[in-house]
Structure 1
Amino acid sequence: MTTPRTTPPLRRGAVAVAAGCSLVALTACSAIGGANADDEASAAGTVTLVTHESFGLSEGLLEQFEDETGLSVEIVQQADAGALVNQLVLTKDAPLGDLVYGIDNAFASRALDEGVVVPADVTAPAGADAAAHAVPGDDDGALTAIDFGDVCLNIDTAWFAAQGVPEPTTLDSLLDPAYRDLLVVPDPVTSSPGLAFLLATVGAYGEDGWVDYWAGLRDNGLQVADGWSEAYYTDFTAGGGDGPRPVVLSYASSPPFTVPEGGDEPTTCALLDTCFRQVEYAGVLAGAANPEGAAQLLDFLLSDEVQADIPVSMYMYPVSSSVDLPDEWARWAPLSDAPYSVAPGDITEHREQWLTTWSDTVIG
């Protein structure tokens, strides 16, 4: 977020790429699916996690789970939370695996409505406030919150200082001609952070104003990337790829990971008046070949070891408040005091309509 999880959501920053690559190297990964339900023998010792491209834990954690349980973990990765849910719906009669991680609050209602996840007994961490992150309408608890974070615009502070251009601070700032051709965001149709930002504008401007806002961004030189990683690593000036755009959609937790080696402060900052809060969930897939193993892996994602690792490996806040956050997060990665919000029922009812209207307005 979504790493990036994204966190941050490959989605979130360079550490996530390293962690994700290590995880893929350490585990048996599949591009096409999980355990075959017809192969009871192989499924018994394997649990398949279906997730987005930004999933990654620090080296050794997943091996610890395998050692303690005797299970072998396989990873099936989709590009993003939106693509992830789409694939789960398309394959729900022949599920891709046993457990899904990375369904976010913009797509949670669709996953529930389509019946792709089922309730499981889980052990919530002592410090978790389940009610604060629960999906409205999920009375059986089929989705369990694992982490959360604020999707916000990020800026390259060094670029603005060097150019002598005042830093933008709000959503309205980006409509000013002074910021023409400076903003890049991921496509909300293909990116969960992109959709989160679309929802932020709906929350900020309402049904009568969000389309005009996007038309204004379009006319002011907005660039749309396919996904978060392209926007951040290729188009952003501070993403490592010498891109041309100093304003990018990312996470409030991204700046600490831009502190240069030997430096003492980040080269970027998040605009906390532009945020939408994203929550990422896990759930046992309906029809899973190994639901017991899936429940064990879900408990593991809620363990203190994994919850404490989430900030450094996936750049999101853990749902457990009983684990310590990195020291620099208090200074460089605060959450927004007032993120924009949209009622879950409105997201469910209007999501596809909003995406179509956005495409017609911005892409044409």
Structure 2
Amino acid sequence: MQRRFFSAALVSISLAALGATPAVWAQAVPLRVLTHGSFDLPKELLAQFEKDAGVKLQIVKAGDAGEMVNKLILTKAKPIADVVYGIDNTLLPRALAAGVIDPYTGPAAQRASAAAMAEGADKTGVVSGVVPVDYGFVNLNVDKAWFSSKGLALPTSLEDLAKPAYAKLLVVQNPATSSPGQAFVFATIAGLGEEAAFQWWGQMRGNGVKVVKGWTEAYYTEFTRNGGTRPIVVSYASSPAAEVFYAKEKLSVSPTANLFLKGGVFRQVEGVALVKGGNPAARDAAAKFIEFLRSAPAQQALQTTMWMFPAEAGSARVDVMKAHASEPASFDNPSATDMSSKAKTWLQRWTKVVLK
């Protein structure tokens, strides 16, 4: 099942781990790639890229995307990477303000993208040289069998969730420790309005919303599909497809469904960029890696490894995503300016309203 955010511990994946020979290792150009903990592409695909590009990948996983950007900023004087993948549209303003990335203008930055790193971007979706790689939607998922067994109608609005009939049914992630948790809070603010959103969160506290640290705990411990007591969870639009993909038995219908409610859908776009001050000798290799992430093989593979939609315009969807991962007709994202300037205040207010 999809796992968007793993341990904060740094994990290094070397060429040797991908089965390369010592001779290839000696000849290849070292390329340091900083990613969040959920970066995941097939080992054989990465090994083929290394062979074709004459590159020795050193992938450093730095936990959550927010932790990754923190690491990038803290090591600005002596960069630990040459290229970074996983800066999303919530973190882009911070990365740009810190001056930790260099613009990339190669072919991938000039082709049309199915997603933009920020509102107002042109058809390439590129903002200051950060190239979109994939996109997805944070939204509510429901356990269909649970609702059917209880004879309870699915909620049709966020306001429904604050009613007594839906008490103690929802589990969310703490936005201070979880990227999907933060994205969901941002969506409520953009969709309902700031004051109405925090009023709703106050009502949800009274209605027994459960808050956990991260996505894994919410989905694998608290969600009724996995033995928990909460039939509604903040997850992803691709989660129903992942349920089918990883099922032990063959399924034609997913056991979970998406709820695309007003104020309950956030579009996340992830990109790749050159790291400012990275090793000059690795700059060509870094450019090759950016192009690789927008190549057809990588754009296809990420759909069932990272469970995101491909950013390359016209990319084919794998069958399980076509059948079970629907895209919402609309979503609610705050402006990039508001996400950059108000995020800290929003999270502090959320903590006071929901937890204290």
SS at match of 1:133: coil
Per mean C-alpha deviation after superposition, the further-off stretch among 103-112 and 329-338 is 329-338
Q: Deviation of residue 142 (structure 1)? A: 2.7
Per mean C-alpha deviation after superposition, the further-off stretch among 329-338 and 132-141 is 132-141
**Structure 1 segment 96-111 matched on structure 2, within 5 A:** 96-111=80-95
Residues 143, 43 of structure 1: alpha-carbon distance in 2 compared, 3 angstrom cutoff: farther
Contact map agreement 1:184 1:235 (CA 8 A) in 2: yes
**Structure 1 segment 23-172 matched on structure 2, within 5 A:** 27=15, 45-124=29-108, 128-129=112-113, 132-135=115-118, 141-172=128-159
The residue number in structure 1 matching 2:4 is 11
Residues 167, 136 of structure 1: alpha-carbon distance in 2 compared, 3 angstrom cutoff: closer
Q: Deviation of residue 322 (structure 1)? A: 2.4
Q: Say whether 1:233 aligns with 2:224.
A: no
The residue number in structure 1 matching 2:266 is 276
Residues 186, 96 of structure 1: alpha-carbon distance in 2 compared, 3 angstrom cutoff: farther
Q: Measure, in 1, the Cα distance between the counterparts of 2:13 and 2:80.
A: 20
The residue number in structure 1 matching 2:252 is 264
Q: Deviation of residue 208 (structure 1)? A: 2.0
Contact map agreement 1:151 1:193 (CA 8 A) in 2: yes
List gaps (5 residues or longer) in structure 2: 18-24
Contact map agreement 1:154 1:249 (CA 8 A) in 2: yes
Q: Say whether 1:294 aligns with 2:281.
A: no
Superposition misfits of 4+ residues, deviation over 6 angstroms:
23-26, 41-44, 137-140
Q: Say whether 1:253 aligns with 2:241.
A: no
Q: Deviation of residue 98 (structure 1)? A: 1.4
Q: Measure, in 2, the Cα distance between the counterparts of 1:97 and 1:25.
A: 13
TM-score by length of 1: 0.84
Q: Deviation of residue 108 (structure 1)? A: 0.7
SS at match of 1:101: strand
Q: Measure, in 2, the Cα distance between the counterparts of 1:293 and 1:137.
A: 30
Residues 247-300 of structure 1 deviation map (CA, whole Å, 9 limit, x = unaligned): 111111110121232221111011022211110111111111233222211111
Residues 201, 28 of structure 1: alpha-carbon distance in 2 compared, 3 angstrom cutoff: farther
CA RMSD, aligned part only?
Answer: 2.7
Q: Measure, in 1, the Cα distance between the counterparts of 2:323 and 2:163.
A: 29
Q: Say whether 1:338 aligns with 2:330.
A: yes
TM-score by length of 2: 0.86
The residue number in structure 2 matching 1:20 is none
List gaps (5 residues or longer) in structure 1: 18-22, 30-40
Residues 25, 47 of structure 1: alpha-carbon distance in 2 compared, 3 angstrom cutoff: closer
SS at match of 1:166: coil
